[in-house]
Amino acid sequence: MRLLIFPLLLLAASISFAAEITPKEINLRKLHQRYVKAGYSTLDLPEFNKRIAFSGVVIGGSSRGFNRGPDSANGSALLKAGVAGSENELVRMVARDAANEAHMGTLTVGSAFKATCTVAFASGTGYIPLQDCVFR
């Protein structure tokens, strides 16, 4: 009996750990609606400081030198994004590394993409800042 319990506990722990590292797939429009309802603050969102996976559409091309948000410390490129069928900017994204920043630079306005990012701190902005983004 003890020989059976240990492998089951190990399996349960592995599944629990895998669930933690797998980013939650979210609907960007619904996330933004909850952000607005929370008074334009990410602190009250359960996704705050967590990895999320989502699909989006480029609203504004990659730009450098933006002086606010998660990219202000390192001058990284920034991508403005929303959802298909809307021109509203819902998020601003900063890439995890040079390879993802290069990929971000190839995306043009209207391009669809899938990414995984961390929801960063925001208060009072019309968009949700996403950092550490990896394109998939």
The domain that holds 49 is classified in CATH as 2.40.50.140
Residues 100-117 have pLDDT tens digits of 999 998 999 999 999 999
- C-alpha distances (whole Å) from 45 to each of 22, 42, 88 are 18, 5, 20
Residue 16 resides in a domain:
no
Residue 19 is predicted with a pLDDT of 43
| pLDDT tier for residue 17 given thresholds of 50, 70 and 90 | very low
Cite the beta strand spans of 1-136 per DSSP E.
24-25, 51-63, 78-82, 91-95, 112-119, 128-135
Residue 7 resides in a domain:
no
Residue 28 resides in a domain:
yes
Quickly list H helices, 22-134: 28-37, 98-106
Range of the domain at 119: 23-135
66 in Cβ contact with 72 (< 8 Å):
yes
Residue 17 resides in a domain:
no
Residue 60 is predicted with a pLDDT of 81
Of the chain, the percentage scoring pLDDT greater than 70 comes to 73
Nearest to 71 by CA among 111, 127, 26: 127
Position 124, amino acid: G
Lowest mean pLDDT, pick from 22-26, 99-103, 120-124: 22-26
Residue 66 resides in a domain:
yes
Report the mean per-residue pLDDT for the chain.
Answer: 83
Q: State yes or no: pLDDT of 15 exceeds 60.
A: no
Domain count, the chain: 1
Nearest to 79 by CA among 44, 103, 98: 103
Whole-number Å distance between alpha carbons of 56 and 95:
15
Residue 12 resides in a domain:
no
Residue 76 is predicted with a pLDDT of 74
Lowest mean pLDDT, pick from 24-33, 53-62, 78-87: 53-62
**Higher model confidence: residue 12 or residue 95?**
95
Residue 8 resides in a domain:
no
74-96: average pLDDT = 91
Global pTM? 0.77
Residue 1 resides in a domain:
no
Nearest to 35 by CA among 27, 45, 25: 45
Q: Taking the CA atoms of 49, 72, 68 and 61 in sequence, report the sign of the dihedral they define.
A: negative
